[in-house]
């Protein structure tokens, strides 16, 4: 079963298909023993074979359609927000962009149980330019929307570390797109740090940003662990 899923996963990113040799090499399976698996998948129409190349077949696309149609964004995100809060012991939230007022709006939130914590709650708002979740939303929004926001936004400093230059913010957005996450230390609140990642829908578009926030000291001491945890949570919450 695992081998079958690995095959489908490999071919999902290869519209031109792959040869038996390619698949055998990538999966470290001898061609002679792998051929029966591929023939069986072709018989069930999960794969199609033409000119020596294997591609996803009609049954795979029907299966994918059923999976996508059953994907519930709010429920999947809620599950991962709770799981991330439990794993990190810190406050976690999920935000969407309110483009009219230029803020990140938190629709899901779990507060840390530690005495000293970032106070998180559903309904909380934060400036797009100054918050980790906000900058993720800016980074993965359509460029025209981000340009329009930066052209009209009043970029005032909230702390001594807040980025208020459109050029500096654009540079940071490029970095976020490259890294796949935003780390913010003392930019919105001087004693707080946060990491945020995008969450994608079935069409690959960003539906929001997941964020974990903690006092500066705890974030610095646990940064690598928190980053690994939120990256996993963001992937699990995404449909793609």
Tell whether 90 and 144 lie within a shared domain. yes
Tell whether 149 and 167 lie within a shared domain. yes
What range does the domain containing 222 cover? 71-237
Radius of gyration of the chain (CA): 22
- The CB-side HSE value for 110 (13 A sphere, CA atoms) comes to 20
pLDDT of residue 210: 97
CATH code for the domain of 159? 3.30.450.40
pLDDT of residue 160: 95
Average per-residue pLDDT in the chain? 90
pLDDT of residue 67: 63
Interatomic CA distance for residues 143 and 218, integer angstroms? 34
Tell whether 80 and 123 lie within a shared domain. yes
Confidence of residue 73 (pLDDT cuts 50, 70, 90): low
Tell whether 8 and 63 lie within a shared domain. yes
**Burial of 165 (C-beta count, 10 Å sphere; 0-12/13-18/19+):** exposed
pLDDT of residue 68: 55
Global pTM? 0.71
The predicted-structure confidence for 123-144, as pLDDT tens digits, reads as follows 888 999 999 999 999 999 999 9
The predicted-structure confidence for 136-177, as pLDDT tens digits, reads as follows 999 999 999 999 999 999 999 999 999 999 999 999 999 999
Tell whether 102 and 178 lie within a shared domain. yes
């Amino acid at each position: 079963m695992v081998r079958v899923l690995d095959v489908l996963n490999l071919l999902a990113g290869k519209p031109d298909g792959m040869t038996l040799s390619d698949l055998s090499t990538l999966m470290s399976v001898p061609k002679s023993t792998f051929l029966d698996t591929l023939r069986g998948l072709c018989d069930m129409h999960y794969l199609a074979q033409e000119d020596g190349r294997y591609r996803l077949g009609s049954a795979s696309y029907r299966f994918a359609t059923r999976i996508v149609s059953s994907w519930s964004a709010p429920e999947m995100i809620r599950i991962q927000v709770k799981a991330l809060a439990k794993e990190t012991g810190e406050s976690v939230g999920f935000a969407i962009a309110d483009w009219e007022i230029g803020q990140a709006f938190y629709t899901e939130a779990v507060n840390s149980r530690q005495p000293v914590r970032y106070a998180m709650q559903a309904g909380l708002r934060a400036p797009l330019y100054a918050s980790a979740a906000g900058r993720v939303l800016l980074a993965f929004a359509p460029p025209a929307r981000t340009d329009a926001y930066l052209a009209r936004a009043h970029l005032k400093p909230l702390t001594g570390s807040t980025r208020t230059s459109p050029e500096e913010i654009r540079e940071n957005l490029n970095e976020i797109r490259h890294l796949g996450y935003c780390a913010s230390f003392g930019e919105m609140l001087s004693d707080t740090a946060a990491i945020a990642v995008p969450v994608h829908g079935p069409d690959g578009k960003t539906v929001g940003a997941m964020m974990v926030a903690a006092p500066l000291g705890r974030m610095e001491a646990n940064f690598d662990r928190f980053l690994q945890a939120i990256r996993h949570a963001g992937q699990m919450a995404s449909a793609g």
